[in-house]
Amino acid sequence: MTERLELNGKTAKEARDAFKGRLKLDKRNRPKAERGFWQRNDRLAIGALELQIPKNIEVDIEQDGRCCFAKTRCPVCGYPIKQKGTRYCAACGQSIRWPE
Ligand SMILES: [Zn+2]
């Protein structure tokens, strides 16, 4: 499955890694007084990009008398996701990957 979001030719994963790299460089290169501002912005961007990188749906198999059934939920926040193929968690916005 390819990621749907493209940012200046980068996938969400590549863009997140670029921000992570900059965060590391800033620790060394930026004056201390400026670091807090840039680090907060970079962490915000990293968090937003993480939501765009699909994570596998969580599946719990539950027993109900003689039969069993699958319950699906968000891998990040645990919010129940009942509709197969739902692309984003309604609670936290995480991008969801379903098995083929
Ligand atoms: Zn969620």
pTM of the model: 0.77
pLDDT digits (tens, 9 = 90+) for 17-47: 999 998 888 888 888 888 888 899 999 999 9
- CA-CA distance, 88 to 93, in Å (whole number)? 5
- Interval 54-79: pLDDT, tens: 999 999 988 878 888 889 999 999 99
Ligand 1: centre distance to CA 21 (Å): 26
| Closest listed residue to residue 51, CA positions, set 81, 10, 89, 84 | 89
Distance 27 CA to ligand 1 centre (A): 31
3-class DSSP state for residue 38?
Answer: helix
Measured between alpha carbons, how far is 16 from 53 in angstroms, rounded to an integer?
9
How far apart are the CA of 80 and the centre of ligand 1, in A? 8
Instruction: State residue 92 phi and psi, 5-degree precision.
Output: -120, -10
Other CB atoms closer than 10 Å to residue 23's CB: what's the count?
17
The C-alpha atoms of residue 86 and residue 96 are separated, in whole angstroms, by: 7
